[in-house]
Structure 1
């Protein structure tokens, strides 16, 4: 690790610790740009003879953005140079924003990752290969959290939460955010670029869960 990278890591840790101490219920927001998950077979077809190379570590353990990119080709248009995320999965999947469904001309449904039944297909192309992938979705907004976080927030896997985001000039409430706790997850709310733009999310913007009122009648 270079000295510059070490200093960057220390700054990140200090910032995250400061944010947590200031507001332990604050949930960091990760803006999810369009991206691609590939099976090993599809990766080999698109990038023959290559290994997936890490470009940037992502916040969730073991996940990273790779150096490899490819074009997404739909019936009406193309999105070029879309980042491939690693590691490889059992089934390829393409995640786009809702506004990009018009660019590609595909009726991508809003789904949680991995829920691919009945989803449309697109072509993925590099200079070395091409594959057709059935599995285009607009990712449903969700919060990654540890099991301890889930206990603290009073939610379990698959629960629907109400979440508010206060940003400069915007107060946004989302009433259908899915809880995704797992032992090794790091606390982070995922929004796509459309949702983040609508809520005016900035790098320092955080979210808060709104407790649901239980009726006594």
Structure 2
């Protein structure tokens, strides 16, 4: 029996710390929710910033909320080349030793020494989903994509929490490479 789950493509975005939010948008500023994202409590904001690297700039990078402990910029491999930084594939939150950049907002700018990652492909699962799929938090699985550009994604991290909603995340380049779109069903292979 195939064990299918939905996939979602993630475009470049930034998560801001409260301190950095205040420098970029003004003291006491609160993010403006544009729309909810699939993961409970996460949302896309109206706010955008520019990311300036050694070789180029990404203009209008969407801010995602809520604020986090550390500022983190998630880009594609092509975006990293545009900025002129080494593309470092990491799990979200693992920013030690990653490249930094200048971030420009409407009220100010900051220079971060680290925080740019190419997000590693991963699956969010609720605890009941993990039971159904027979996996545990931090397991590594493969995902099969059918279709004319079908392929198998290896090294997919499973993240399990009672706060998560079932969904696999890949960056937009990975999704485009195999021809999937948001909400397509893909197959988990243990």
**Is 1:140 matched up with 2:113?**
no
Q: Where do 4+ consecutive residues of structure 1 move more than 4 Å?
A: none
1:34-65 CA distance string (max 9 Å, x none) = 00000000000000043100001000000000
CA distance in 2, matches of 1:204, 1:69: 25
Report what 2:44 is aligned to: 65
CA distance in 1, matches of 2:37, 2:99: 27
Relative to 1, partners in 2 of residues 1:146 and 1:189: Cα closer, same or farther, differing over 3 Å?
same
1:41 is paired with a residue whose SS is: helix
Report what 1:128 is aligned to: 107
CA distance in 2, matches of 1:127, 1:184: 33
Q: Pick from 132, 136, 158 the counterpart of residue 152 of structure 1.
A: 132
Q: Mean Cα displacement is larger for which, 198-207 or 118-127? A: 198-207
Gaps of 5+ in 1: 1-22, 212-217
**Is 1:38 matched up with 2:19?**
no
CA distance in 2, matches of 1:36, 1:94: 4
1:99 is paired with a residue whose SS is: helix
Contact 1:166/1:205 (CA < 8 Å) preserved in 2? no
TM-score w.r.t. length of structure 1: 0.83
Structure 1 segment 1-217 matched on structure 2, within 5 A: 25-49=3-27, 50-133=29-112, 134-167=114-147, 169-211=148-190
CA distance in 1, matches of 2:31, 2:2: 36
CA distance in 2, matches of 1:30, 1:126: 28
1:137-186 CA distance string (max 9 Å, x none) = 0000000010111111111111110110113x121101110000101211
Pairs aligned (count): 188
CA distance in 1, matches of 2:41, 2:49: 22
Alpha carbon RMSD of aligned pairs, Å? 1.4
Gaps of 5+ in 2: none
Larger fraction in helix: 1
Relative to 1, partners in 2 of residues 1:28 and 1:67: Cα closer, same or farther, differing over 3 Å?
same
CA drift of 1:204 comes to: 4.7
Relative to 1, partners in 2 of residues 1:142 and 1:132: Cα closer, same or farther, differing over 3 Å?
same
